Amino acid sequence: MSVPAARPAFGLISVALTALLLPLATATAQKAPPVAEQIAAAVLALPTEMRDGAGVLGYKTVGKLEVLRPTKNGMLCLADDPAEEQFHVSCYADSMDPFMARGRSLRLQGTTGAQVDTVRFAEVKSGKIKMPTQPAALYQIFGAKDAYDAASNTVKNGRSLFVVYIPFATPQSTGLSTTPSDTKPWLMLPGTAKAHIMFTSKM
């Protein structure tokens, strides 16, 4: 009885090639927007008069956050992350950067959820992270991934969040309630390094 000749494993080769090419295709499809566009979108979180002097961190390569523009007025903005599913830009007083940068570093290392603040609070207590001694503002815009329109440099149906950090503030020291409200400012995480006054609004 003759033995059939071995058939080339074209199916296996095809599967292997597909597995190899998928990451490449994903990386190619997910490109960072032009630097000028990222800067224009990021600073929208700020009041108009503060935008020109704000520094911006963004992405020349997806996944690598780097300086796109240095700060001249003490405000630092984060461009929208191309890898995230939602649109999000934020700007904050650079006095908060040691705390913010440490959070980003911890998340890159795999630390998640409340553990990020657990580590940061301990490092603030030990003196490793220096917190501002004066109030420090944070401005953010959230929206669907397609919320930002580059042609008009606007965010459609976005949600704006404004925060003022006052490390270790309490209801007694500020006169603010800790009850969340959509119409009044309120104090979140009182008594901690991350204590802040919350303000929210629709765009």
Per-residue pLDDT of the chain (203 residues; tens, 9 = 90+): 444 444 444 343 343 334 444 444 444 457 899 999 999 999 999 999 999 999 999 999 999 999 999 999 999 999 999 999 999 999 999 999 999 999 999 999 999 999 999 999 999 999 999 999 999 999 999 999 999 999 999 999 999 999 999 999 999 999 999 999 988 999 999 999 999 999 976 66
In a domain, 84, yes or no: yes
Q: pTM score, two decimals?
A: 0.82
- Describe the crossing of helices 97-108 and 114-126 by its angle, rounded to 10 degrees: 130
Judged by DSSP in three states, 47 sits in coil
Query: Which residue range(s) make up the domain with 109?
Result: 31-157
In a domain, 14, yes or no: no
The total number of structural domains in the chain stands at 1
How far apart CA 93 and CA 77 sit, in angstroms, is 9
